[in-house]
Amino acid sequence: MLAVGLLLSFLLAGSVAAGPKDKPVTSKSKTASAKAARAREEKCVDRWLAERKLDAYGSPEGTMYAGGTPLFNEATGRHIDRLDHIYRKHAEAKVACAPTPKKR
């Protein structure tokens, strides 16, 4: 009977050890806050682009793109974030709209 108990405890211990690792807990408020900050930044950039008569990608209005968007490179299969693309083309947009990092 003792042997069965030991065997059972080894089996249970093995299954616990082999279980999935705990995932980091993220705060819903931090996620919502990050989404809200991103939305504000995008709104600012869109306003900045419109004032300069530029399209959603920072090019002159009416610009046509192979594949429909300059954010996807068909040769490499890579996709770039729209704001990163705009900030590379127009550093002044980043100065005007990108959030500044908080000092600690």
- H-type alpha helices, 52-90: 82-89
pLDDT score at 63: 96
pLDDT in tens, 33-61: 999 999 999 999 999 999 999 999 999 99
The segments of the chain whose pLDDT lies below 70 read: 1-27, 102-104
Yes or no: say if 49 and 93 are a contact pair by the CB < 8 Å rule: yes
- Residue 33 CA to residue 103 CA, distance in Å, equals 18
* The pair of three-digit structure tokens given for residue 36, joined into one six-digit string: 């809200």
**With a threshold of 0.75, does the pTM exceed it?**
no
Neighbours of 58 (CB within 10 A): 21
| Axis-axis angle for helices 28-51, 82-89 (nearest 10) | 40
